[in-house]
Chains A and B, each alone.
Chain A
Amino acid sequence: MPTIKIPPVLRASVGGERELEAPGENVRDVLRALVEAHPATASQLFGGDGELNRYVNVYLNDEDVRVLDGLDTSVAPSDTLVILPAMAGG
């Protein structure tokens, strides 16, 4: 099952986990599975239109899914999805 790395701002919504596994064959399915298991993440990941929020970057391994096929990008069981929000602390 693909692994999802959870950023600090989302950890409270997933019971404090830093890393989770979720089933799915593309980015959309994996993230939807995450949202089903942890509904509090829904509004942080997805906008009302069902698309990823513009301020959330998702990487398949080390590549931004925006330069791949977006939410339709295929995901293998050995892949890692990195959810990465911007941080501004200094």
Chain B
Amino acid sequence: MSPSGAEFIRQVKAGITETDPQIVHELIGDGVAIVDVREADEWAQGHLPGAKHVPRGYLESRIEGVVPDRSQRVVLYCASGNRSALAARTLGDDLGYEHVESMTGGITLWKDRGYEVELPKTLSAEQRERYSRHILIPEVGESGQQKLLDARVLLLGAGGLGSPTALYLAAAGVGTLGIVDNDVVDLSNLQRQVIHTTARIGVPKVESAEETIHALNPDVTVVPYQTRLDASNIMEIIAGWDIIVDGVDNFPTRYLLNDASVRLQIPVVSASILGFDGQLSIFKPYDGPCYRCLFPEPPPAELAPSCGANGVLGVLPGTMGLLQATEVIKLIVGAGEPAIGRLLLYDALAATLSEVRVRRDPQCPICSRDPASITDEEMGVFPDYEAFCAAAG
């Protein structure tokens, strides 16, 4: 006579290793693969910290993607310890996993013991559709998309560089975008600042940008700062952001930003443009050089023309702003080689992209020091600062 279901499970449990939740709790973060074999709706209500999810129905086809090494120690669990026992037998007997255990009592006993449960963040059906082309790329995938949605990126300037960067980061689903800009939209901006519109001339740029971003992607929260970044407000504004995108249009603010971002150890994706030329680099404090390592001093005002004075090809900030957005996304999802320690040089007329190396300066007045030792008074200061600012007007 065939055994009853309950009898069968008892027999299976007798042939596998069962492990108490207390021991599993000690194993977390210890290189042991913890696999939840429940259904998706059960997983969505909470799981063991750091666990991977492989529903029992997909066990044979998906386990190798999660635990490729058959000699790795694997702990399976379900709601009460039955399904994971059956799954453990399959992994051990049929698939050749050498060290498989099933957690006694499942997540129910785990919770009864008072251990922590992690609530998974899941994409809504609409988000799956919106970001489907990201989810298809292995370098982004669902987890990368979740990182983008959780990311906080601060854009300095909603002008030439900030406009395309903000548009594409919003489209990509970067969940929180801060925008710092004190200007209002001017007719002469619209040749390149594509986040604004003719109807919004005279409207504060942060307001105009927020309107466009919300129309593009309601997932994005915009934090507007309608102010000019200066020594009195910079520490307060930039604290707490994951990444800063520098598209400011003047040297004093670039040095100020550098010093404050080194102090707070926030990476800056920096670009600048003039005429037909663009430069881009990432300054990641203490991992790579800072802006002062690259440019110890700004040029005198007469050799530092602005786009307002000398003009800029309208598409150039588009190109450079999107290179910035690309680097931001790479930093967030952890893909590829970020432009740290390299300065990318784009020459639109020659149609060339070249690069030079940027090294940390062991004598750097800012990043060679302990960040806590950098004072408010020295931030953003460089030799002849006052003369520079007077000449620059």
Contact = CB atoms under 8 A, between A and B. Distances in A.
Interface of A: 7-9, 18, 44, 53-57, 59, 62-64, 67, 82, 84-90
Given A63-B356, A64-B358, A67-B359, A90 B272 contact: yes
Given A54-B297, A89-B249, A90-B161, 15 more contacts: A9-B299, A53-B299, A55-B300, A56-B299, A62-B357, A64-B357, A64-B358, A64-B359, A86-B299, A87-B272, A88-B298, A88-B306, A89-B306, A90-B159, A90-B249
Contacts of A53: 299
A85 B299 contact: yes
16 contacts: A9-B274, A55-B297, A56-B299, A63-B357, A64-B357, A84-B356, A85-B303, A86-B298, A87-B277, A88-B298, A89-B160, A89-B249, A89-B274, A90-B272, A90-B307, A90-B317
A89 B273 contact: yes
Interface in B285-306: 294-300, 303-306
A68 to B, nearest CB: 11
A67 B304 CA distance: 25
B254 interface: yes
Contacts of A84: 343, 345, 356
B275 interface: yes
Contact of B356 (A7, A44, A59, A87): A59
A67 B289 CA distance: 13
B157 interface: yes
A2 to B, nearest CB: 16
Contact of B298 (A9, A44, A55): A55
B294 A57 contact: yes
Nearest to B317: A90
B199 interface: no
